[in-house]
Amino acid sequence: ETETAVDSEETVMHPYQHKGPVCWRRRVKSEYMRLRQLKRFRRADEVKSMFNSNRQRILERTDILNAEWKTRRIQPCVCVWSCLLQCTVDSGFSEFSKQVIPLKTLNAVASVPVMYSWSPLQQNFMVEDETVLHNIPYMGDEILDQDGTFIEELIKNYDGKVHGDRECGFINDEIFVELVGALTQYSDNDDEDDDEEEQEFKLEKMESLPYFPSLGPCPFKFLSPYTLLSDSSKKFPSDKIFEAISSMFPDKGSTEELREKYKELTEPQLPGALPPECTPNMDGPNARSVQREQSLHSFHTLFCRRCFKYDCFLHPFHATPNTYKRKNMENLVDSKPCGDECYMYLVKRSKTPSKRPVRRDHQQFRYIHTCASQTPYPVLCTHPHTNHCLLCNPEGNSRCQTPVKLKLTCDPQVVDWSGAEASLFRVLIGTYYDNYCAIARLIGTKTCRQVYEFRVKESSIIARAPAEDEDTPPRKKKRKHRYAMKIQLKKDGSSNHVYNYQPCDHPRQPCDSSCPCVTAQNFCEKFCQCSSECQNRFPGCRCKAQCNTKQCPCYLAVRECDPDLCLTCGAAEHWDSKNVSCKNCSIQRGAKKHLLLAPSDVAGWGIFIKEPVQKNEFISEYCGEIISQDEADRRGKVYDKYMCSFLFNLNNDFVVDATRKGNKIRFANHSVHPNCYAKVMMVNGDHRIGIFAKRTIQTGEELFFDYRYSQADALKYVGIERESEMP
């Protein structure tokens, strides 16, 4: 539509419009098309070179394999019998003799079933909903002929969005910048005729610029700010360009927005420059002196307390530790001086009125404990009744009061504290409080006396530092745009549904009917922010047996034993060994059986067990991508057409899809007489699917389980071992 509009405008172009918006629109269009084409060529070249390099790799690999074969000792197949079978080539000309070679036959090798590529994993992997159809599936012409509307309906599921659609309005950041750059040339030309004033001003500016043609790099430092300034002022494109682009691509934003975006995108990137929100590397040369939260921000926000990993694959939200409480107060203060130069001698010599015995701290920390919930990290507080806080700042901010009387007998040593050291100090003081010896040891480059002195100096400075936003620290940004994870808990009230667990976080509120865990009928887990005395917490088991009967409360609740709760059954022991007394912790430990892949006796591929297993023994976890129910509906449509589905309902909110990622058990076929069964279990806060033996299974048996309990509709699309086929 846009195209025709432009064309019509072009035909009736008035001479005045030469520099008008219509002209600009035309320029935008032609430049855009040119850039697109350029990009296409570039892309084609890329593909070509990729293909060639790939080809090269294949050849190299082939050479390696050939070399390997040459080293093998292979017995030549001297076959007396096959002399009877000969191949003869007769040229028909007398001068060429007949060529005869014995015919050797090789055994036919059966072809293997079709397998679509997949990636192996041993733990579920959460992926976002796909809002764009990534590829239009092809499954043979006949299927599409039968159901012509299938593709249409599929695209409709994605609101008509198809990946890589070459719609006219498609424009990304890279093209945008290039487009503006290309259009600037026109603007320069226009300037000559049009904006006389501006031109003059520009020329003036140009003249004023110092120009040293023969000078070496020496004056560059001096020059650089000017050049930068002049460059940017000269090159920054006129509003007309953004106006034109905005009118061509209205969905990309207004003129102002586009200008801002351009500014942002073209801002000179100095080497090593970091976005303003990024804390400089503490080990790097640019380390700055920052607050504790800032130093630890990345670690706190990215760490997944449930997976113990940073930016884990499974949990989109990571709770920050600021509301966590200390379970046990550790003995933080060394009671003995660390050496001759220890700060303690200084302090002692100062004859503080009360030398603080270590034990006494208990009560004081209790206080910290309570106030910690308001502050982002455990901070130092003075006991309200010991009025020793001489250097306590007048604002009365409880943050950085110091518990000791900071009075030095000797003059403080004059030492430089680098930014990194200062930051590190602030980080450690939040953990070690007044154990300056330990802090000094960890900083490494300062003595405890220097640390102590710095502490004396710091206490006022820190206190005056403006309190950072204390509530929620900003989440980490990714360069590549990631769609915000939508997790909508579909609560339709049916009681037999199982909902996904999400750690609850409602400060100062007990876990009652308003707690998400309670409403979802889940127990509170160790990841919840509620107290460990919470009534909704699962207590774990105290079994001394194998936890494989309903005697075990964990087993009864379809939970695996929690190694941090169940301390008697063995779930928390023998991490490296397979012989754990508790039989109810196999999924988390990944105590899977060795499975072997071979063409199935029923349909397609099948999975076979290497060693015999007993009834109810754990075989494998059914792993895959965790997708939302909506996404599963969309994907399921395609899978149904392929007659091959790896979808498995996990709970009311999520589905496991082993199509793209999974483990070998995904090849288990359906049977109405299965030898395995699936059980969704709560494993340390995650629902996971365990596949267990329904009966004793012998070596080399193919594994089947009943899909009907997991996916009602997919049944007709999978290989089924039917009743009659049972031995």
Partner 1 sequence: MHHLQHSGEVMSCKANGAVYPASTTVMTTVKKPKMEQIQADHELFLQAFEKPTQIYRFLRTRNLIAPIFLHRTLTFMTHRNTRTNAKRKTFKVDDMLLRVEKMKGEQESHSLSSHLQLTFTGFFHKDEKPSQNSENEQGSVSLEVLLVKVCHKKRKDVSCPVKQVPTGKKQVPLNPDCSKQTKPGSLPSLLVSSNEFEPSNSHMVKSYSLLFRVLRTGRRDMNGLVNGEANENIDVTEVPSRKKRSSTHREDGENTETFVAQMTVFDKNRRLQLLDGEYEVSMQGMEDCPVSKKRATWETILDGKRLPPFETFSQGPTLQFTLRWTGDASDKSTAPVAKPLATRNSDGSSPMESRPSALKSAPLAVKASVSTDIQMKKEQILCEPRQKLRIFYQFLYNNNTRQQTEARDDLHCPWCTLNCRKLYSLLKHLKQSHSRFIFNYVPHPKGARIDVSINECYDGSYVGNPQDIHSQPGFAFSRNGPVKRTAVTHVLVCRPKRTKPSLSEFLESEDGELEQQRTYVSGHNRLYFHSDSCMPLRPQEMDVDSEDERDPEWLREKTATQLEEFTDVNEGEKEVMKLWNLHVMKHGFIADNQMNQASMQFVEKCGAYIARRNLCRNFLLHLVSMHDFNLVSVATIDRAMSRLRRIQEELPDAGADDQKTGQPPMDVFMTCWNLYYG
Contact 393, 400 (CB under 8 A): yes
Site for partner 1 in 328-357 (CB under 8 A): 330, 332
Length of the chain: 727
Angle between helices 196-208 and 220-235 (to 10 degrees): 170
Task: Point out which span in 166-174, 425-433, 446-454, 639-647 binds partner 1 (CB under 8 A).
Answer: 425-433
Out of 122, 363, 374, 696, the only residue in the binding site for partner 1 (CB under 8 A) is 122
State how beta strands 119-120 and 618-621 pair: unpaired
d(CA 232, CA 241): 16
Task: Point out which span in 32-40, 60-68, 358-366, 427-435 binds partner 1 (CB under 8 A).
Answer: 427-435
Q: Determine, following the binding rule CB under 8 A, whether residue 723 of this chain makes contact with partner 1.
A: no
Nearer to partner 1, 176 or 608 (CB): 608
Q: Determine, following the binding rule CB under 8 A, whether residue 20 of this chain makes contact with partner 1.
A: no
Task: Point out which span in 320-328, 390-398, 535-543, 709-717 binds partner 1 (CB under 8 A).
Answer: 320-328
Nearer to partner 1, 317 or 709 (CB): 317
Q: Determine, following the binding rule CB under 8 A, whether residue 484 of this chain makes contact with partner 1.
A: no
Nearer to partner 1, 378 or 636 (CB): 378
- In whole angstroms, the minimum distance from the beta carbon of 361 to partner 1 comes to 14
Site for partner 1 in 369-388 (CB under 8 A): 377-378
Q: Determine, following the binding rule CB under 8 A, whether residue 299 of this chain makes contact with partner 1.
A: yes
Nearer to partner 1, 123 or 184 (CB): 123
Nearer to partner 1, 319 or 552 (CB): 319
- In whole angstroms, the minimum distance from the beta carbon of 280 to partner 1 comes to 6
Out of 124, 238, 295, 364, the only residue in the binding site for partner 1 (CB under 8 A) is 295
String of contacts with partner 1 for each residue 520-559, x by CB under 8 A: ------x---------------------------------
Task: Point out which span in 196-204, 474-482, 507-515, 630-638 binds partner 1 (CB under 8 A).
Answer: 474-482
Q: Determine, following the binding rule CB under 8 A, whether residue 317 of this chain makes contact with partner 1.
A: no
How many of the other CB atoms lie within 10 Å of CB of 24?
23
Q: Determine, following the binding rule CB under 8 A, whether residue 296 of this chain makes contact with partner 1.
A: yes
Phi/psi region, residue 433 (left: phi>0; alpha: psi -120 to 50; beta: rest), is left
Nearer to partner 1, 408 or 598 (CB): 598
How many of the other CB atoms lie within 10 Å of CB of 95?
5
Out of 420, 541, 650, 689, the only residue in the binding site for partner 1 (CB under 8 A) is 420
Phi/psi region, residue 164 (left: phi>0; alpha: psi -120 to 50; beta: rest), is left
- In whole angstroms, the minimum distance from the beta carbon of 366 to partner 1 comes to 17
State how beta strands 303-304 and 309-310 pair: antiparallel
d(CA 566, CA 540): 5
**Which DSSP letter does residue 471 get?**
S
Where do the H-state alpha helices sit in 361-445? 361-371, 419-432, 436-443
Phi, psi (5° rounding) for residue 25? -60, -40
d(CA 324, CA 376): 9
Site for partner 1 in 201-230 (CB under 8 A): none
d(CA 492, CA 89): 78
Tokens representing 117?
């590529």
User: What residues does 656 pair with on adjacent strands?
Assistant: 626, 648
Helix (H, G, I), strand (E, B) or coil at 20: coil
Site for partner 1 in 691-720 (CB under 8 A): 698-700
- In whole angstroms, the minimum distance from the beta carbon of 589 to partner 1 comes to 7
- In whole angstroms, the minimum distance from the beta carbon of 672 to partner 1 comes to 18
State how beta strands 86-89 and 99-102 pair: antiparallel
Out of 325, 506, 641, 660, the only residue in the binding site for partner 1 (CB under 8 A) is 325
Nearer to partner 1, 270 or 712 (CB): 270
Out of 77, 101, 270, 712, the only residue in the binding site for partner 1 (CB under 8 A) is 77
Nearer to partner 1, 248 or 626 (CB): 626
CA distances from 348 to 138, 356, 433, 437 (A): 82, 11, 18, 15
d(CA 600, CA 207): 82
Out of 25, 446, 449, 592, the only residue in the binding site for partner 1 (CB under 8 A) is 592
String of contacts with partner 1 for each residue 100-119, x by CB under 8 A: ----xxxx-x--x--x---x
How many chain residues are in contact with partner 1, going by CB under 8 A? 93
CA nearest neighbour of 137 among 630, 660, 716, 641: 641
Nearer to partner 1, 223 or 302 (CB): 302
Contact 325, 367 (CB under 8 A): no
Nearer to partner 1, 205 or 326 (CB): 326
Nearer to partner 1, 207 or 471 (CB): 471
Q: Determine, following the binding rule CB under 8 A, whether residue 249 of this chain makes contact with partner 1.
A: no
String of contacts with partner 1 for each residue 269-288, x by CB under 8 A: ---x-xx-xxxxxxxxx---
Burial (CB < 10 A; 0-12, 13-18, 19+), residue 514, is exposed
Site for partner 1 in 663-682 (CB under 8 A): 663-664, 667
Nearer to partner 1, 162 or 302 (CB): 302
Task: Point out which span in 23-31, 177-185, 439-447, 507-515 binds partner 1 (CB under 8 A).
Answer: 439-447
Nearer to partner 1, 138 or 575 (CB): 575
String of contacts with partner 1 for each residue 128-157, x by CB under 8 A: ------------------------------
Task: Point out which span in 30-38, 248-256, 299-307, 542-550 binds partner 1 (CB under 8 A).
Answer: 299-307
Site for partner 1 in 37-76 (CB under 8 A): 75
How many of the other CB atoms lie within 10 Å of CB of 524?
24
How many of the other CB atoms lie within 10 Å of CB of 410?
10
d(CA 457, CA 181): 53
Q: Determine, following the binding rule CB under 8 A, whether residue 491 of this chain makes contact with partner 1.
A: no
Nearer to partner 1, 76 or 92 (CB): 76
Out of 353, 444, 493, 507, the only residue in the binding site for partner 1 (CB under 8 A) is 444
CA nearest neighbour of 714 among 602, 633, 650: 633
CB neighbour list of residue 335: distance below 8 Å, 6 or more residues apart = 358
Please give the helix or strand (H or E) that residue 198 lies within, else none.
Answer: helix 196-208
Angle between helices 21-71 and 2-11 (to 10 degrees): 130
Contact 501, 562 (CB under 8 A): no
Nearer to partner 1, 484 or 712 (CB): 484
The one-letter amino acid at 41: F
- In whole angstroms, the minimum distance from the beta carbon of 404 to partner 1 comes to 19
How many of the other CB atoms lie within 10 Å of CB of 582?
28
State how beta strands 624-628 and 676-683 pair: unpaired
